[in-house]
Structure 1
């Protein structure tokens, strides 16, 4: 569609009323077209409004066109197409960024974590390093900076406390 300026009488200035009438005459029809294209009523109205704002900035020239509505329509459709491209790009980006979600912890793991939380810090560290990290008593003693006998004591007390914790929980569930 070719947009050609029509001759304006010499010295004639564009009138804001002319733009207001133009806006009122064409806004709804263009917004409905964009709504059908985009499927989002609010977005269609926003883009139509943006197209009219851009037209108003140049109204002194656009008013001289044979069909000023063709200019507004072209701007609005270009904005809508750009919007769809940005959304499509964002969706593709987000699809690549999806996190893999691991299933929640098993009940046994929750029970173990709860039981470990009841232990004093030194005992908990010794039990975790020995049973879960598979370190030897000597490695734990070296890492923590204590004698091996202290690590053995922590392990013994920690195991006793864990056993007591699980026996008490078992009795509670039986009752």
Structure 2
């Protein structure tokens, strides 16, 4: 019965303190979702320490301090990540997809999902039938059948297109 009472006391404390702590951390961080996350995480840490956790003002202070430290730690990691990106990222112009790639994607969309998946994994990702089976859990025989059917469907699709729409050299 003591466990139930401890849970009830913690639940009551959570109900009363959570909104107040979120408001306090929101004021500190300026980010409401972040404040909610760090306060929630601090409460989870407090619950895992419930045997050594005492009720009252010190409990709320512990959660507030823990939440504040979590917020600072997250901010530092985020700032460090931004610095690394800025320092090591060269701006590059990304070309859009070529007309051939767009035509291929449109053709792949006409295939049933499993056929499309095995064709992409085999021909675009360069995976063997065995590797596809290991990655997807599908039997090798089924993969081979889907590859054949997918290739035939793509061949029919592209043979029906006028020659000027598809560049066979690319």
TM-score of the superposition, structure 2-length normalised? 0.48
Q: Which has the higher Rg, Structure 1 or Structure 2? A: 1
Question: Comparing both chains, which one has the higher relative contact order based on Cα–Cα distances under 8 Å and sequence gaps of 6 or more?
Answer: 1
TM-score of the superposition, structure 1-length normalised? 0.47
